[in-house]
Amino acid sequence: MSSNDRVIIFDTTLRDGEQSPGASMTGEEKLRIAKALERLRVDVIEAGFAIASPGDFAAVKAIADAIKDSTVCSLSRALDGDIDRAAEALKGANSGRIHTFIATSPIHMQHKLRMQPDQVVEQAVHAVKRARNLCSDVEFSCEDAGRSEIDFLCRIIEAAIDAGARTINIPDTVGYAIPHQYAEMIRQLLERVPNADKAVFSVHCHNDLGLAVANSLAAVVAGARQVECTINGLGERAGNAALEEIVMAIKTRADLLGVHTRIDTPHILSTSRMVSGITGFPVQPNKAIVGANAFAHESGIHQDGVLKHRETYEIMSAESVGWNANKMVMGKHSGRAAFRARLEELGIVLAGEGELNAAFARFKDLADKKHEIFDEDLQALVSDSLSAEAPEHVKLLSLEVASKTGEVPQAKLVLSVDGAERSACAQGSGPVDAIFKAIESIACSQANLQLYSVNAITQGTDSQGEVTVRLEKDGRIVNGNGADTDILVASAKAYINALNLMQDGQKAHPQVADV
């Protein structure tokens, strides 16, 4: 295949994905996901929006410093301050990209930007030139391109390429496009923009009508050679195009599409699980590629067919995306070296001996309670041990819960709050309610509980429960996670983790902030 047959996979889980209400991630979690994306061989990782907050800046910088094999990108509006901040965060990158954008649709230019089309072109050109002075790899996006006029798109894209943009992104920001119409738009832009051959055309589709993947693939057929997508289709509102679906459609239907990606597909499932665990967004069982039922055959006719010849009912193998790889990895006799090696195979590299020792100590505790330890257990355990290492105002010291038929459940707990021991006792409609009330009687956070979810990490009743608690206060939303074989302990840990995350600073949203 020639280089023109390669589709660049641009992952924006850490930026657009994080814009899903409630999907915020800590810097350490973002770094862990970035390492998993590098292992998956994603071409470009959009690590964040550097100007949004000091935390976002630090996360983009940490990812730029650590990632060697993927390009690391920061989003910036077409504003000097944004571009300079993005360049600053990307300084240490092996390969960095500044992604700058401005809205191009009549509705956005008139009502959001309150600018004339000429001013928008001028600002776009200025932004791309400024970015090119700071970074050799610049992407320009026409926000709301899906509802923009084709003549205006041709004009602004030609100017952006002349100014130095090497990737031109045509986002369907509001998920309005229909596959044949969106493909026609890409075809026309490639034909009509005189310098189109000097840039890679990219697509970025939202899923409001459930068409993000279909639109992206139609655009690839029309000549787009970069697809922007997210793991599990995470993203604003109904989400973005799902990376796993785009990649597997390209791989499975190479006969028809005639293109390829460089994604190492057996790492898809573990990356999906990592993102789901960290964000607390469960993957629906019937989700293509990564849902629990994606390769499960229930009907007798199908089972019979698959047993006789797999391809009767399967268009791709479960192994090719990482299913059936969660072999029993270790038990209580496994040593530190084996533990470290397995984590490395899972793409988890702990910083220094301190983190490794803490995670290994938790592994030994878990191995005492649980006979077989699977990859999913290790991922949850590392997540849990890293959040315990982070500076914590509130820590769980002990928990006692009483729950008996016919009696009101009661929780007694002891917390450490900024080093001081505090105890509380509360009753609730159930044991979890009692625990949360007891914690709140000490923390007095006045946050609203938006989500409480428990997921069994592996099969069997000895599985660890992974709990997500989503809290909201004054419009700020955080997700706390906790894992334990005792789901009441996991629930307390998750609530406390959310309280600790609440202490972080506010951040700006790229698409609501004024230009």
Nearer to Zn ion, 227 or 346 (CB): 227
Question: Contact letters (x/-) for ligand KIV, 132-171, by CB under 6 A?
Answer: ---------x-x-------------------------x-x
Which of Zn ion, ligand KIV, none interacts with 141 (beta carbon under 5 to 8 A by kind)? ligand KIV
Name the residue nearer to ligand KIV (CB basis): 16 or 56. 16
Ramachandran quadrant class, 216 (left: phi over 0; alpha: psi -120 to 50; beta: rest): alpha
Nearer residue to ligand KIV within complex by CB, 48 or 510: 510
Site string for ligand KIV, 484-513 (x = CB under 6 A): --------------------------x---
Whole-number Å distance between alpha carbons of 53 and 20: 17
> Closer to ligand KIV at the Cβ: 204 or 470?
204
Residue number, 43 or 375, with CB nearest to Zn ion: 43
Residue 101: name its binding partner from Zn ion, ligand KIV, none (Cβ under 5 to 8 Å by kind): ligand KIV
Q: Of 93 and 203, which has the nearer Cβ to ligand KIV?
A: 203
16 vs 56 by CB, closer to Zn ion: 16
Among 16, 38, 244, 377, binds ligand KIV (CB under 6 A): 16
Show Cβ contacts of residue 90 under 8 Å, excluding neighbours closer than 6 positions: 50, 60, 61, 64, 72, 73, 74, 96, 97, 98, 135
DSSP 437-457: HHHHHHH---PEEEEEEEEES
Minimum gap (Å) between residue 199 Cβ and Zn ion: 19
Choice between 70 and 148, CB closer to ligand KIV: 148
Among residues 130, 192, 113, 203, the alpha carbon closest in space to that of 165 is found at 130
d(CA 414, CA 332): 29
The Cα 383–Cα 92 span in angstroms is: 26
Closest distance of CB 22 from ligand KIV, Å: 18
**Residue tagged 């798109």 (tokens):** 153
Binding mask 86-115 for ligand KIV (x = CB under 6 A): ---------------x--------------
- The binding track of 434-473 with respect to ligand KIV, each residue x by CB under 6 A or -, is ----------------------------------------
Selected range binding Zn ion among 11-19, 190-198, 282-290, 443-451, rule: CB under 5 A: 11-19
* Dist CA 456 CA 460 (whole Å): 8
Nearest distance from C-beta of residue 208 to ligand KIV, angstroms: 11
User: DSSP assignment of 155-183, as one string?
Assistant: HHHHHHHHHT-SEEEEEETTS---HHHHH
Angle in degrees, CA 25, 70, 163, rounded to 5: 100
Residue 5 CA: distances (Å) to CA of 180, 220, 225, 242: 21, 10, 8, 21
Total residues in contact with Zn ion, by rule CB under 5 A? 1
Cβ of residue 1: shortest distance to ligand KIV, in angstroms?
28
Find the shortest distance in angstroms from Cβ 480 to Zn ion.
26
Which of ligand KIV, Zn ion, none binds 143 (CB below 5-8 Å, type-dependent)? ligand KIV
Residue number, 143 or 244, with CB nearest to ligand KIV: 143
Give the span between the Cα atoms of 515 and 123, in whole angstroms.
Answer: 10
Residue closer to ligand KIV (CB basis): 71 or 141? 141
Q: In what order do the strands lie in the sheet with 465-473?
A: 448-456, 465-473, 476-484
Size of the site for ligand KIV (CB under 6 A): 10
CA 121-215-282 angle, to 5 degrees, is 110
Dihedral sign, CA of 456, 458, 462, 466? Answer: negative
Residue placing its CB nearer to ligand KIV in the complex, 148 or 387? 148
Interface stretch with Zn ion, choices 9-17, 269-277, 288-296, 378-386 (CB under 5 A): 9-17
Q: What is the DSSP string of 182-205?
A: HHHHHHHHHHHSTTGGGSEEEEEE
- Alpha carbon distance 260, 3 (integer Å): 10
| 16 touches Zn ion by CB under 5 A | yes
Which token pair is 88? Answer: 């600053």
Q: Give me the least distance between CB of 363 and ligand KIV, in Å please.
A: 39
β-pairing verdict for 44-48 and 8-11: parallel
Tokens of residue 404, six digits: 């008996």
CB of residue 446 to ligand KIV, shortest distance in Å? 33
Q: Would you say the C-alpha torsion 33, 506, 21, 141 has a positive or negative sign?
A: negative
State the minimum distance, in angstroms, from the CB of residue 46 to ligand KIV: 9
Binding positions for ligand KIV, rule: CB under 6 A: 16, 101, 141, 143, 169, 171, 173, 204, 206, 510
Binding positions for Zn ion, rule: CB under 5 A: 16
